[in-house]
Amino acid sequence: MPENGLFCLFCGCISQASVGVVEQWGRFYRLAEPGFLFLNPFAGECLAGVLSTRVSSLDVIIETKTKDNVFVQLICTILYRVMKENADDAFYELQNPNSQIKAYVFDVVRAHVPKMTLDELFEQKGEVAKTVLEELEKVMRAYGFNIEQILMVDIIPDASVRKAMNEINAAQRLQLASVHRGEAEKILLVKKAEAEAESKYLGGVGIAKQRQAITEGLRENILNISNSVSGTSAKEVMELIMVTQYFDTIKDLGNSSKTTTIFLPHGPGHVKDVSDQIRNGMLEASAGRLGA
């Protein structure tokens, strides 16, 4: 802000977004609008000064303590301008407007912040800025200044507090990551168990269908042979089929290149024993199914 002084000029020019303060015989006389200015020195008119009506910015750094005894620095930016219609008050009332604004901001912040914890301060910094704006506007309007906006730019706790807050935040994130990882592993295990159950179920269905197909095939073979060869019973045909499958199995074992050598008793009598064993096994399985 320009200091009071007299400029005894016959004419001059007030630039845009500015207002001139004209005095007559040392007393405030009128405000001069932007544009050409003519002064009458014979009537005692002088240009005392020029004020800018543009928005000005003032940064304020405040150190205070919260309710939970944490020292913090608050960085505020105050946007203000001279009220054109009250430019004479702004010119004459305050010697140093910036110092006055800073003093009021310090007073309001240090009265309000100690009622809040550090977490509340971070969460409600907009409320703090609003409170400072309301209090500062009421005071500074009487001096011809309009407070446009107050920005709470940053809140800086003590270095040790910041370190502790970061460690707490990191621990919480690790805990949350562990929970998510455990849930993911649980889902994988459940899906794997469901897949195994489904696989076993489908495998059982396949085996059942396979056995059903074998049974149907054997039944058809028995019926065809019984009808083709007269005097043969179903029992004899079944024994013939079992023995034939026994020989086919031995043949497959012999043709396999990866089969380990197996010693089996073989002869007409042994074939009869194999047939009896197969028949007895089938009868026992049938009896077990009936008993169940």
Please, are residues 53 and 17 in contact by the beta-carbon 8 Å criterion?
yes
Q: What pLDDT score does 2 carry?
A: 44
Please, are residues 57 and 30 in contact by the beta-carbon 8 Å criterion?
no
Q: What pLDDT score does 121 carry?
A: 87
Q: What pLDDT score does 172 carry?
A: 77
Q: Do residues 195 and 140 share a domain?
A: no
Which domain covers residue 258, as residue numbers? 235-292
- Would residue 227 count as lying in a domain? yes
| pLDDT tens by residue, 43-71 | 888 888 889 889 999 999 998 888 888 88
Q: What pLDDT score does 270 carry?
A: 57
Q: Do residues 125 and 212 share a domain?
A: no
In this structure, what token pair is assigned to residue 18?
């500015």
Q: Do residues 72 and 119 share a domain?
A: yes
Q: Do residues 68 and 152 share a domain?
A: yes
- Would residue 166 count as lying in a domain? no
Range 268-273, long-range pairs (CB < 8 A, 24+ positions)? 271/243, 271/246
Q: What pLDDT score does 146 carry?
A: 92
Query: Residue 103's closest CA among 70, 130, 140?
Result: 140
Q: Do residues 213 and 251 share a domain?
A: no
Which of 232, 259, 277 is the last residue before a domain boundary?
Answer: 232
Helix 159-228 vs helix 234-255: angle between axes, to the nearest 10 degrees? 130
Q: What pLDDT score does 257 carry?
A: 59
Q: How many domains does the chain have?
A: 4
Q: What pLDDT score does 58 carry?
A: 92
Q: What pLDDT score does 3 carry?
A: 44
* Residues in contact with 79: Cβ distance below 8 Å, sequence separation at least 6, in sequence order: 55, 56, 57, 147, 148, 149, 150, 151
- Which regions in the chain score pLDDT beneath 50? 1-8
82 CB burial (10 A radius; 0-12, 13-18, 19+): buried
Q: Do residues 184 and 102 share a domain?
A: no
| pLDDT tens by residue, 6-46 | 444 567 788 888 898 888 888 888 888 888 888 888 888 88
Q: Do residues 68 and 33 share a domain?
A: no
Q: What pLDDT score does 276 carry?
A: 65
Domain of 100, CATH number, reads 3.30.479.30
Sign of dihedral through CA atoms 16, 18, 24, 26? negative
Q: What pLDDT score does 6 carry?
A: 44
In this structure, what token pair is assigned to residue 22?
């004209």
Q: DSSP labels for 180-242?
A: HHHHHHHHHHHHHHHHHHHHHHHHHHHHHHHHHHHHHHHHHHHHHHHHHSTT--HHHHHHHHH
- Would residue 277 count as lying in a domain? yes
Q: What pLDDT score does 4 carry?
A: 45
Question: What whole-number distance in Å separates Cα of residue 132 and Cα of residue 262?
Answer: 98
- Would residue 148 count as lying in a domain? yes
Question: What whole-number distance in Å separates Cα of residue 70 and Cα of residue 136?
Answer: 25
Q: What pLDDT score does 5 carry?
A: 45
Q: Do residues 81 and 98 share a domain?
A: yes
Q: What pLDDT score does 186 carry?
A: 87
Q: Do residues 193 and 261 share a domain?
A: no
- Would residue 164 count as lying in a domain? no
Amino acid at 184: A
